[in-house]
Amino acid sequence: MVAIGDPGLDSAACHAMFASGSNRKKRRTMLLTVDHVSKTYPGGRPVLRDASISLAQGESLSLTGESGSGKSTLLHLVAALDGFDAGEITFDGTSYATLDDSGRAALRRDRVALVFQQFNLIPSLTVAQNLAFHARLAGRHDPAWTTEITGRLGLSGVLGHYPEQLSGGQQQRVAIGRAMSVRPKLLLADEPTGNLDEVAASAVLDLMLELVRLSGTALLLVTHSQSIASRLDRQAHLSGGRVA
Amino acid sequence: MIRAATLAFWSHWRRHPVQLLTLVLGIALATGLWSAVQAINAEARASYARAAAQLGADKFDRLSRSDGKPMSVAEYLTLRRAGWQVAAVLQGTLRVDGASVTLTGIDLVAAPDLPAIAEASADSRIAPLDALTAPGLLFANADLARALGDRPDLPPVIETALVPPRRILTDIGTAEAVLNSTGQISYLLVLPDQPMGRPPLTEIAPDLTQEAARGTQDITRLTDSFHLNLTAFGLLSFVVGLFIVHGTVGLSFEQRRPLIRTLRALGLPMRLLMRLILTELLLLALLGGVIGLALGYLVAAALLPDVAATLRGLYGAPAEGSVSLRPIWLVSGLGMAVAGTLLASAQTLWRLSRLPILAAPGKHRWSARPRAMRNQLLIGLAIVATGIVTFAVADGLIAGFALMAGCLLGAALALPPALAGLLVLGKQMARGPLAEWIVADMRTQLPGLSLALMALLLALAANIGVGTMVASFRLTFDGWLDQRLTSTYYVTARDDAQGTELANWLAPRSDAVLPIRSAEITTGTYPLFVYGIVDHDSYRRHWPLIAADADVWDRVMTGQAALINEQMARRDGLWPGSTVSLAPGWEMVVAGVYSDYGNPTGQAIVALDRLLAHFPDVPNTRFGVHLPADRAEQQAEALRAAFDLPPGAVIMQQGLKAQSRAIFEKTFLVTGALNVLTLGVAGFAILTSLLTLWSQRLPQLAPVWALGLTRSGLAWLELLRAVTLAAMTALLAVPLGLVLAWLLLSVINVAAFGWQLPMYLFPFDWVKLFALALLTAAIAAALPMLRLRRLPPAQLLKVFANEN
Ligand SMILES: Nc1ncnc2c1ncn2[C@@H]1O[C@H](COP(=O)(O)OP(=O)(O)OP(=O)(O)O)[C@@H](O)[C@H]1O
Ligand SMILES: [Mg+2]
């Protein structure tokens, strides 16, 4: 195991480990709270109705639900990718209601990281450039840490390749590496292994969970798979626009 | 089956209306600009001819009495009875508002279809014959017509732009009444189409001499070179338009490949499919062609205020004065549209015809494709090389055009690899993740935008090339006029006797009186005019020598050497130091060569006494008079009065220059407008490319957006990229444009007309054009940019969703 150099992360990791064992949720400072949020796409029926979730630092939460139940939508709202109609989301002390377009962009850049099911990578950049992109954009590039991640993800041999030259599993590993190299407080993943076969999927998932634990990042993971969900700290289920 | 296939095939356009619009507009713009140039060319020709030919009367040879006296009606009738097709002209001067104007009365019965009268009558909806019935009609331009309108003693005036300033045109009968000189004829016009076997002049009218049509040939030759260049411009615009068509047709079939594969798999034979496609292209070409013709018509009409007259000339002259389109013009315009469309689609069709039924859909590859780029670069260079080799092997006009085509086509093909090369440089210079991404992404955009950028390159190069050519031409011609027309005014006497009188009268009243005496010698294959001059500072200072020995003037003036004009020098390979044979037994050393634009014949200049030694009888009737400009007008009036000189006998240098310059102003206007239009077409190509690339852009942009850029930030970057690519293209266009200008000035002109124009550079114009190119790109990118700014996040998020 390589020691993690960042004292902030170290304390976050300790905090998470300490907190996850405890039941006294009220006393914990929540990293993320989604409070009675509603969302309707223009011209559609309501997708989310009074949905609420919360997540502590370093904690991992799975989100399951039927197809079309609004899992991705909720994730997008948390990622400050889209606006919502009612309720409130607070992340790391920032209330989303007050954010404008550039405030949301800054939040995405600096504090969360994302892994989608596909098309995560910037097609015109090499794997190496993709891996470092988010961290450099956020002004937090740590080459040693990125190299460490790259090694763990088994990407050292393809650094000069373009995304289209990689397999689906490799692409998702690059996406995870990019997300983790920014040392986010929260990683949002939307079915990151949904396009992969079972073997590749479990390998990618293992790597992701390992990196998340290593850096004490909180994780919100959308998945269809009950077995994946069960590997996380907590599970939430979305149905009828509400979280159960 | 066919019906179903057709419907399936055409449904593509219903789903991609922008693409359909682009295609039709591309064809329309190509056809439109081409036909606009045709119309403008015709208009320019007409106006040059007008200015040069002075109502067309100078187009004809003239008969006049050798002694310069007026002719009688009897002589006129003799000639006509003998079968000579001649028209009598009475010319005189009329005082209008204190200035003298020239009144020309022509026997309209003999020459009923004199262009100026016929056109003006049609314009004013009167029968040409009205001009014959008392009190007759006067034709004059707007200014003069206003001044004449106040004169109750004159017949009604018809205003027409077809008569040059300070001239009045009318029937000879009306002229007799106005000038109060019955039964007199100044000279006769020899009309075209003379019958065979008519008796020679010496038999029936020995007193008359025939004088060749003057002046028109010079100006015609001069302007021919313009028309050639304008036509080249029109062709370039056409090609720029075809680039749009090529791009859109390619894309539309690329997108329909799955459909085509399905149809083929269902058993649709290739032949039928091809027929279907050709029908589709043909219909679209016709649609675009019709719109293009309308567009060309509008463009021409907007460009030239007096184009209505031209269009009538071009499309035939209708009685009612409204414009009717001549079928041949329509057919040729549509023919261009169809041919162009098929040409632009050829590559796509060929590829399609070889498409295996089960070919996998083409996947866009985003990583660098060095091999394809290198191949394209090599092909481009090979085409340029072919042009150069053709030029080296052959010569003449064809070789010039081959070189031009090779350079333009090759450079266009080499543009994307060149830009890719520049982007590699940019990549190394880029600092920071965003800059790196911007450069890498530009490289990604390159294949999709390359056609539009090629169009931009050609448009810019054409602008610089033709702009430099026209401006060089104007500057040269201006300077040349100043050099050649150094005398304050020119006067022509009736005969030698009057010539001597004139010279005597002028000598004490002016700074210098320079005789202009020449002999025409036709020993070789073309006529040679040898001029004898007396020494004067104005020659030494101003004469437009393009090559000369050191003490050229001293040697010429002491009779040791001669000057020859550029045409002769190029044609016969005679340069300073060579020996020229001026007449049998008369050889001289060439000491200098001078430019002589517009002159189709050879010309030589020697000291006057040398000329007289060989040709003692050359007439002494023309003089250049030097005196301070402010006294010129006054003295010319006095001279006319003292010697009763006809109106054309005194020509003011100022007027001559002004008239010549006016011609160029118009050409400038037209070229400028065409510049803007071609650039507009290129801008349109960029816009449509960006719009068609739109769906491919989102997967590029969405990840960057998700990682923390705002949509409006991305939108600005999109604009920046388009403008940067345009800027790089514009930078490459400058050398290409200069090559084009050089080709036009030094190769094509020499091949076509025998003289070379010096090339002047106008860097400020390039800066302006550069800015204009950036502006064009910015405007073209503005629409996609706004679209991106307003794009709902939900649209961007769809990129990451399960189904794409
Ligand atoms: N960008 C969008 N614009 C309009 N409607 C949308 C958009 N994205 C999702 N929806 C609608 O919102 C609802 C929820 O979609 P969402 O993608 O959040 O579901 P999901 O739970 O992620 O489904 P899946 O498991 O299939 O990914 C669906 O009915 C969908 O049609
Ligand atoms: Mg989803």
Residue B729 confidence (pLDDT) above 90: yes
Mutate to test the interface with A, among B434, B445, B800 (most CBs of A within 10 A): B800
CA B799 to chain A, closest CA, distance in angstroms equals: 7
How far, in Å, CA of A148 to CA of A163, rounded? 20
Give the number of whichever ligand sits closest to the CA of residue A225.
1
DSSP string, A64-126: EE-TTSSHHHHHHHHTTSS--SEEEEEETTEEGGG--HHHHHHHHHHTEEEE-SS--S-TTS-
Predicted confidence band of residue B417 (pLDDT cuts 50, 70, 90)? very high
- Calculate how far, in angstroms, residue A72's C-alpha sits from the geometric centre of ligand 1: 7
Mutate to test the interface with B, among A115, A124, A158 (most CBs of B within 10 A): A124
Which pLDDT value is given to residue B203? Answer: 81
How far, in Å, CA of B733 to CA of B85, rounded? 55
How far, in Å, CA of B25 to CA of B39, rounded? 20
| DSSP conformation class of A196 | S
Which pLDDT value is given to residue B323? Answer: 32
Q: Which carries the bigger pLDDT value, residue B38 or residue B635? A: B635
| CA nearest to A108 within chain B | B708
CA A104 to chain B, closest CA, distance in angstroms equals: 8
Kindly report the average pLDDT of chain B as a whole number. 79
| Lowest model confidence (mean pLDDT) among A26-35, B138-147, B301-310, B322-331 | B301-310
Which pLDDT value is given to residue B802? Answer: 52
Do the chains contact at B443 and A129, CB–CB below 8 Å?
Answer: no
Percent of residues, chain B, with pLDDT higher than 70: 81
Kindly report the average pLDDT of chain A as a whole number. 84
DSSP string, B600-621: -SEEEEEEHHHHHHH-TT----
How far, in Å, CA of B515 to CA of B533, rounded? 7
Peptide bond into B135 cis (omega under 30): yes
DSSP-H helix ranges across B708-799: 711-742, 749-753, 763-789, 793-797
Of A41, A136, A162, the CB nearest to B366: A162
Do the chains contact at A108 and B797, CB–CB below 8 Å?
Answer: no
CA B452 to chain A, closest CA, distance in angstroms equals: 21
Atom of ligand 1 nearest to the CA of A224: 25
- 3-class SS at B435? helix
Is residue B797 within 8 angstroms of chain A, CB to CB?
yes
Mean pLDDT of the region A120-136: 91
Q: Which of A34, A41, A117 to mutate to test the pocket of ligand 1 (most atoms within 8 A of CB)?
A: A41
Is residue A71 within 8 angstroms of chain B, CB to CB?
no
Domain assignment present for A158: yes
Residue B629 CA neighbour count, 13 Å, CB half: 5
Is residue A143 within 8 angstroms of chain B, CB to CB?
no
Q: Which carries the bigger pLDDT value, residue B297 or residue A123? A: A123
Nearest protein Cα to ligand 1, atom 9: A73
* Nearest one of B169, B191, B207, B148 to B91, comparing CA atoms: B169
* Chain A residues within 8 A of B799 when measuring between CB atoms: 119
Mean pLDDT of the region B372-394: 86
Residue B414 confidence (pLDDT) above 60: yes
How far, in Å, CA of B66 to CA of B495, rounded? 8
DSSP string, B95-136: EETTEEEEEEEE-TTTSTT-HHHHHHHHHTT--GGGGTSTT-
A176: alpha, beta or left, given left = phi > 0 and alpha = psi -120 to 50? alpha
In the block, tokens 């008392």 appear at B134
Beta bridge partners of A215: none
Pairing mode of beta strands B561-565, B545-548: unpaired
Of A72, A105, A164, the CB nearest to B708: A105
How far, in Å, CA of A167 to CA of A173, rounded? 10
**Ligand 1 and A44: CB distance under 6 A:** yes
| CA nearest to B434 within chain A | A137
Is residue A123 within 8 angstroms of chain B, CB to CB?
yes
Residue B566 CA neighbour count, 13 Å, CB half: 20
A119: alpha, beta or left, given left = phi > 0 and alpha = psi -120 to 50? left
Q: Which carries the bigger pLDDT value, residue B329 or residue A78? A: A78
Predicted confidence band of residue B756 (pLDDT cuts 50, 70, 90)? confident
**Ligand 1 and A72: CB distance under 6 A:** yes
Q: Which carries the bigger pLDDT value, residue B69 or residue B284? A: B284
Domain assignment present for A2: no
* Nearest one of B315, B92, B123 to B186, comparing CA atoms: B92
- Calculate how far, in angstroms, residue A41's C-alpha sits from the geometric centre of ligand 1: 9
Q: Which residues, other chains included, contact B763 with Cβ-Cβ below 8 Å and sequence gap of 6+?
A: none
Which pLDDT value is given to residue B507? Answer: 86
CB B691 within 8 A of CB B784: yes
pLDDT digits (tens, 9 = 90+) for B421-466: 999 999 888 888 999 999 999 988 888 888 888 888 988 998 888 8
Length of chain A: 244
How far, in Å, CA of B293 to CA of B285, rounded? 12
Residue B388 confidence (pLDDT) above 60: yes
CA A186 to chain B, closest CA, distance in angstroms equals: 14
**Ligand 1 and A42: CB distance under 6 A:** no
How far, in Å, CA of B718 to CA of B441, rounded? 10
State the CB neighbour count (10 A cutoff) for residue A52. Answer: 16
CB B128 within 8 A of CB B117: yes
pLDDT digits (tens, 9 = 90+) for B615-661: 888 888 888 888 888 888 888 888 888 887 776 678 787 777 776 67
**CA B213 → CA B59, B85, B189, B524, distances in Å?**
6, 15, 10, 22
Which pLDDT value is given to residue B356? Answer: 63
Mean pLDDT of the region B108-131: 68
Residue A89 confidence (pLDDT) above 50: yes
How far, in Å, CA of A225 to CA of A65, rounded? 10
Domain assignment present for A229: yes
Residue B332 confidence (pLDDT) above 50: yes
| DSSP conformation class of B374 | H
Helix B629-643 with B496-506: angle, nearest 10 deg = 140
Atom of ligand 1 nearest to the CA of A222: 22
In the block, tokens 């859109």 appear at B248
* Chain A residues within 8 A of B797 when measuring between CB atoms: 72, 76, 81-82
Maximum mean pLDDT: which of B207-221, B404-418, B788-802: B404-418
Domain spans, chain B: 1-53+221-365, 60-212, 489-627
Is residue A119 within 8 angstroms of chain B, CB to CB?
yes
| Lowest model confidence (mean pLDDT) among B202-206, B367-371, B527-531 | B367-371
Domain assignment present for A168: yes
Of A76, A116, A123, the CB nearest to B444: A123
Pairing mode of beta strands A112-115, A186-190: parallel
In the block, tokens 């010129």 appear at B632
Residue B544 confidence (pLDDT) above 50: yes
How far, in Å, CA of A215 to CA of A228, rounded? 20
State the CB neighbour count (10 A cutoff) for residue B643. Answer: 17
Which pLDDT value is given to residue B222? Answer: 52
Which pLDDT value is given to residue A186? Answer: 93
Output the 3-class SS for B152-172: CCCCCEEECCCCCCCEEEEEH
Q: What is the residue type of B724?
A: T
Of B436, B797, B799, the CB nearest to A76: B797
Do the chains contact at B707 and A114, CB–CB below 8 Å?
Answer: yes
Q: Which residues, other chains included, contact B627 with Cβ-Cβ below 8 Å and sequence gap of 6+?
A: B488, B509, B510, B511, B635
The separation between the first and the last C-alpha atoms of chain A, rounded to the nearest angstrom, is 37
Mean pLDDT of the region B271-276: 86
Number of domains in chain A: 1
Residue B215 confidence (pLDDT) above 90: no
Query: At B103, phi and psi to the nearest 5?
Result: -110, 125
CB A32 within 8 A of CB A78: yes
* Chain A residues within 8 A of B443 when measuring between CB atoms: 124
Mean pLDDT of the region B580-592: 88
Which pLDDT value is given to residue A33? Answer: 92
Which pLDDT value is given to residue B363? Answer: 41
Q: Radius of gyration of chain B from Cα atoms?
A: 33
| Lowest model confidence (mean pLDDT) among A210-224, B71-85, B103-117, B757-771 | B103-117
Q: Which residues, other chains included, contact B599 with Cβ-Cβ below 8 Å and sequence gap of 6+?
A: B218, B221, B565, B567
Is residue A167 within 8 angstroms of chain B, CB to CB?
no
pLDDT digits (tens, 9 = 90+) for B596-616: 776 667 889 999 999 999 888
Which pLDDT value is given to residue B119? Answer: 67
Burial class (CB in 10 A: 0-12, 13-18, 19+), B625: buried
Which pLDDT value is given to residue B124? Answer: 67
CA torsion, ordered B768, B773, B775, B779, to nearest 10 deg: 160
Of A101, A110, A122, the CB nearest to B437: A122
The separation between the first and the last C-alpha atoms of chain B, rounded to the nearest angstrom, is 32
pLDDT digits (tens, 9 = 90+) for B235-261: 777 877 777 787 778 778 877 887 888
Which pLDDT value is given to residue B250? Answer: 79
Predicted confidence band of residue B306 (pLDDT cuts 50, 70, 90)? very low
| CA nearest to B795 within chain A | A82
- Calculate how far, in angstroms, residue A69's C-alpha sits from the geometric centre of ligand 1: 7
CATH number at residue A27: 3.40.50.300
Q: Which carries the bigger pLDDT value, residue B120 or residue A214? A: A214
Nearest protein Cα to ligand 1, atom 26: A67
Which pLDDT value is given to residue B285? Answer: 92
Tally C-beta pairs within 8 A across A and B. 99
Which pLDDT value is given to residue B723? Answer: 93
| DSSP conformation class of B321 | S
Predicted confidence band of residue A220 (pLDDT cuts 50, 70, 90)? very high
| Lowest model confidence (mean pLDDT) among B507-521, B666-680, B762-776 | B666-680
Length of chain B: 804
How far, in Å, CA of B247 to CA of A141, rounded? 42
pLDDT digits (tens, 9 = 90+) for B470-527: 788 777 777 777 777 778 888 888 788 888 888 898 888 888 888 888 888 766 566 7
Which pLDDT value is given to residue B230? Answer: 67
Residue B663 confidence (pLDDT) above 70: no
Nearest protein Cα to ligand 1, atom 20: A68
Which pLDDT value is given to residue B264? Answer: 81
Q: Which of A66, A67, A72, A190 to mutate to test the pocket of ligand 1 (most atoms within 8 A of CB)?
A: A72
| DSSP conformation class of B583 | E
pLDDT digits (tens, 9 = 90+) for A59-75: 999 999 998 899 999 99
Mutate to test the interface with B, among A125, A182, A190 (most CBs of B within 10 A): A125
Which pLDDT value is given to residue A63? Answer: 94
What b/e sequence results for A59-89 when a residue is b if at least 16 CB atoms lie within 10 Å of its CB, and e otherwise? bbbbbbbeeebbbbbbbbbbbbbbbbeebeb
* Chain B residues within 8 A of A81 when measuring between CB atoms: 706, 793, 796-797
CA A68 to chain B, closest CA, distance in angstroms equals: 11
* Domain, as residue range, for A210: 11-243
- Calculate how far, in angstroms, residue B246's C-alpha sits from the geometric centre of ligand 1: 39
Q: Cα–chain-centroid distance for residue B89?
A: 34
Predicted confidence band of residue A9 (pLDDT cuts 50, 70, 90)? very low
How far, in Å, CA of B769 to CA of B675, rounded? 9
Q: Which carries the bigger pLDDT value, residue B97 or residue B575? A: B575
Mean pLDDT of the region B689-695: 79
Which pLDDT value is given to residue B650? Answer: 81
**CA B363 → CA A147, B248, B354, distances in Å?**
32, 18, 18
Q: Which of B698, B796, B802 to mutate to test the pocket of ligand 1 (most atoms within 8 A of CB)?
A: B802
CA B279 to chain A, closest CA, distance in angstroms equals: 38
CA torsion, ordered B345, B348, B351, B353, to nearest 10 deg: -60
Is residue B699 within 8 angstroms of chain A, CB to CB?
yes
Mean pLDDT of the region A9-23: 41
Mean pLDDT of the region B331-359: 78
Predicted confidence band of residue B709 (pLDDT cuts 50, 70, 90)? very high
Which pLDDT value is given to residue A16? Answer: 40
Nearest protein Cα to ligand 1, atom 18: A70
